[in-house]
Amino acid sequence: MPSPDGRPHDSRVRVRGAREHNLRGVDVDIPRDLLVVFTGVSGSGKSSLAFGTIYAEAQRRYFESVAPYARRLIHQVGAPKVGEITGLPPAVSLQQRRSAPTSRSSVGTVTNLSNSLRMLFSRAGRYPAGAERLDSDAFSPNTAAGACPECHGLGRVHRTTEELLVPDPSLTIREGAIAAWPGAWQGKNLRDILDTLGHDVDRPWRELPAEEREWILFTDEQPVVTVHPVREAERIQRPYQGTYMSARRYVMKTFSDTKSATLRAKAERFLATAPCRACGGSRLRPEALAVTFGGRNIAELAALPLTELARSLPGGSETARVLTEDLAARIAPVVELGLGYLSLDRATPTLSAGELQRLRLATQLRSGLFGVVYVLDEPSAGLHPADTEALVTVLERLKAAGNSVFVVEHHFDVVRGADWLVDVGPGAGEHGGRVLHSGPVAALEGVGESATARFLFDRSPGPARTVREPRGVVSVGPVTRHNLRGVTARFPLGVFTAVTGVSGSGKSTLIGEVTEELAGVGRLVSVDQKPIGRTPRSNLATYTGLFDVVRKVFAATEEASARGYGVGRFSFNVAGGRCETCQGEGFVSVELLFLPSTYAPCPDCGGARYNPETLEVTYRGRNIAQVLDLTVEAAARFFADADTPAVSRSLGTLLDVGLGYLRLGQPATELSGGEAQRIKLASELQRVRRGHTFYLLDEPTTGLHPADVEVLMRQLHGLVDAGHTVVVVEHDMTVVAGADWVVDLGPGGGDEGGRIVAAGPPEQVATAPGRTAPHLARALA
């Protein structure tokens, strides 16, 4: 079939000379309309190829076609470093690592299921006698027509309390008892008004009569009085007319009216939120809540787990039947992907990245798009092995609809299910960046230097290990939260424990309840996947404290002393040594009309972040920007024989957790959740540890190739051998098989889970009932 431009149809995406990040002039041909998996150790360049090159180039072409005027700006931002790509269809990325979803987005809005449900209520709902039929907008809390007038569709109202407004009641008003008051003149003004009104501003707050305290803090009255200001040391002020405003009124007004983020944040400290009484937290106006379908209003249906929602949609009229069938068909793939425990009203910020990506994936099945490339990043993250088969089925269906599906994945069940495999490596960073194999999965077996081949085809059993004896046990619970109802879990001390169970069974909820107060536990360290910082100003070196030492090293050079440069001169966060054009960010923001704003390298420093004078100072031949540009591995060599033990220790632990390929200055915003977690673990490991520590990790293997998992496990088991306790939430059955103890939650997700179905050594849990057992048994075999 000839393509529109008249050239013969090419069924392959052909990439030539890809040099993004660590890619070493990669040439690769990838067939379209297939399920293609990209593998390789962490940092090998999989994402640089799939996202940084193929997806980025498709995006760039799309921008150019919709907004030709933006061409110059796009040029400025930079296209992916690639010679040429041909045969590239439009691309859709389901990975949303960096966008911050708004609190108004929910499972219902992400999947569009809310729209369908509103349509159902508008057209086929049961209305109170005499009520007018409502438009489907009237069932949305995000429209003026539907939002509860009390809380403006937020479902919660802000209120304040005496405890918040007056944190220290032993103080007098003059001493600043009312912490919520503004500072400076306005604060004195309010105090003087109260004085004029006859209140005792020199008595401790707690000794004032209750009704007086109530009035001062909460009144809506705004009395105007003539104030004779107390004489201040150096000047005498004249009497004036002052208006009183209660602390609550002041806080509320500031919170809703101010344009200053600082003032708003300050006001927020004195506010607590509570469910709105008018709508009961449902965010809808009473007229909408009065409409029912199958005996429930729309808020009640939106609160049901999706599995139950699908069951409780009766047909009824012809209109209703068509609409409910459509809803059921849209819910089915979500349930298939193991997310049936979610409800439509669940806010997206409370979902994990894996859950969110799978929701988007399920939604795409009904989008009707074809001829596009879907690019996904580890869709199996957070997924129990029992559900990975369904994941492959869904990916197959997306392909069957006429699309290409490109997936960066580590889970071998997904890898084995692929039609085509692109293996990148052999190592990370500068040791990777080559395509070792592009072809059918089975053909990887002959590729000697591939770490993936070693794990995918080698079935020799793992090294024998001795099961450790616990030194005691701690109880957590009874926990009643989310789907856990009075669950008590026991964690043995001094051993390695894995918490397992399908997605939504309650694993995160349970470990979230582990607190420092546990008897027998010295210190609790929870290592999560939250970013190490939200701006490019935080990076690996600043987070671990490594940068402080490096700056001292630079400040101690002869050149720096001669010029009088101190430690602060080498910071890119304060004025002095940094480049002022970009204020030390290295990047400037470029606004594209109608398009999301994006970043371009700073025109002055070219990304170096410092001004030229600062960069003239060198240590062992490198300036500070060049040191920040080193990978951990290169930095370890650079500092090897320098007398800087703190630097060596820090770099050593980063190498130990498999992060040798990261650059010291790599901004926090460019790191994946798994990388952030390993950085936190490394900075934990570099501390001198005293006494017993209880380590908690939620899915530490996310984003890791089995080769990296080995490295990480060596570290974690090392901690246990040193006398500490490690508890991980984990889906990787090789990790679970290597644990001393397993706590399996389930049997299902949401209301069908939340119980401990088995607890014991892996061999015992492998023979227990439940969905984990068969998979664990296979890993132990």
Binding site for Zn ion (CB under 5 A): 148, 150-151, 276, 278-279, 579, 581-582, 602, 604-605
Q: Which stretch binds ligand ADP (CB under 6 A): 83-91, 338-346, 524-532, 588-596?
A: 338-346
Question: Given the complex with Zn ion, which of 102 and 581 has the nearer CB atom?
Answer: 581
Cβ at position 713, least distance to ligand ADP in Å:
18
Member of 360, 507, 578, 680 binding ligand ADP (CB under 6 A)? 507
Q: Which stretch binds ligand ADP (CB under 6 A): 54-62, 81-89, 152-160, 497-505?
A: 497-505
| Residue 508 binds which entry of Zn ion, ligand ADP, none, CB below 5-8 Å type-dependent | ligand ADP
| Residue 662 binds which entry of ligand ADP, Zn ion, none, CB below 5-8 Å type-dependent | ligand ADP
Burial class (CB in 10 A: 0-12, 13-18, 19+), 397: middle
Please count the residues of this chain forming the interface with ligand ADP, following the rule CB under 6 A.
Answer: 30
Question: Given the complex with Zn ion, which of 148 and 498 has the nearer CB atom?
Answer: 148
Chain-centroid distance, C-alpha 241 = 52
Member of 43, 155, 338, 673 binding ligand ADP (CB under 6 A)? 43
Q: What's the distance, Cα to Cα, between the start and end of the chain in Å? A: 50
Residue 740: count of CB within 10 angstroms of its CB:
21
Cβ at position 366, least distance to ligand ADP in Å:
22
For 409, half-sphere exposure in the C-beta direction (CA atoms, 13 angstrom radius) is: 28
Tokens of 47: 């994402």
Cis peptide before 305 (omega within 30 of 0): no
SS (H, E, C) 417-481: CCCEEEEEECCCHHHCCEEEEEECHHHHHHCCCCHHHHHHHCCCCCCCCCCCCCCCEEEEEEEEE
Rule CB under 6 A: say whether 80 interacts with ligand ADP.
no
- 714's enclosing H/E stretch is helix 706-721
Output the DSSP codes for 721-752: HTT-EEEEE---HHHHHT-SEEEEEESSSGGG
Question: Given the complex with ligand ADP, which of 342 and 733 has the nearer CB atom?
Answer: 342
Nearest-angstrom CA–CA distance, 537 and 551:
15
Cβ at position 159, least distance to Zn ion in Å:
13
Measured CA angle at 332 (ends 331, 333), to 5 deg? 100
Nearest-angstrom CA–CA distance, 443 and 453:
9
Cβ at position 163, least distance to Zn ion in Å:
24
* 622-623 vs 618-619, strand pairing mode: antiparallel
Cβ at position 485, least distance to ligand ADP in Å:
11
Cβ at position 157, least distance to Zn ion in Å:
7
Question: Given the complex with ligand ADP, which of 19 and 397 has the nearer CB atom?
Answer: 19
Cβ at position 589, least distance to Zn ion in Å:
12
Question: Given the complex with ligand ADP, which of 125 and 753 has the nearer CB atom?
Answer: 753
Rule CB under 6 A: say whether 506 interacts with ligand ADP.
yes
| Residue 482 binds which entry of Zn ion, ligand ADP, none, CB below 5-8 Å type-dependent | ligand ADP
Question: Residue 379 region, left (φ>0) first, then alpha (ψ -120 to 50), else beta?
Answer: alpha
Q: At what angle do helices 706-721 and 673-685 cross, to 10 degrees?
A: 30
Rule CB under 6 A: say whether 266 interacts with ligand ADP.
no
Q: Write the interaction track for ligand ADP spanning residues 670-699; mark x where CB under 6 A is met and - where it is not.
A: x-----------------------------
Which residues share a beta bridge with 475?
A: 490
Q: Write the interaction track for ligand ADP spanning residues 458-487; mark x where CB under 6 A is met and - where it is not.
A: ------------------------xx----
Q: Could you say which residues in the range 383-442 bind ligand ADP, by CB under 6 A? A: 429
Q: Where are the beta strands (DSSP E) in 506-606?
A: 523-527, 587-590, 598-601
CA-to-CA dists, residue 628 to 538, 616, 666, 759, angstroms: 12, 15, 8, 47
Question: Given the complex with Zn ion, which of 325 and 580 has the nearer CB atom?
Answer: 580
Q: At what angle do helices 318-334 and 353-364 cross, to 10 degrees?
A: 130
| Residue 731 binds which entry of Zn ion, ligand ADP, none, CB below 5-8 Å type-dependent | none
Question: Given the complex with Zn ion, which of 155 and 427 has the nearer CB atom?
Answer: 155
Q: Could you say which residues in the range 358-377 bind ligand ADP, by CB under 6 A? A: none
Measured CA angle at 440 (ends 438, 446), to 5 deg? 75
Member of 32, 46, 731, 755 binding ligand ADP (CB under 6 A)? 46
| Residue 80 binds which entry of ligand ADP, Zn ion, none, CB below 5-8 Å type-dependent | none
Question: Given the complex with Zn ion, which of 50 and 271 has the nearer CB atom?
Answer: 271
Residue numbers at the binding site for ligand ADP (CB under 6 A): 21-22, 40, 42-48, 341-342, 346, 350, 429, 482-483, 501, 503-509, 661-663, 670, 750
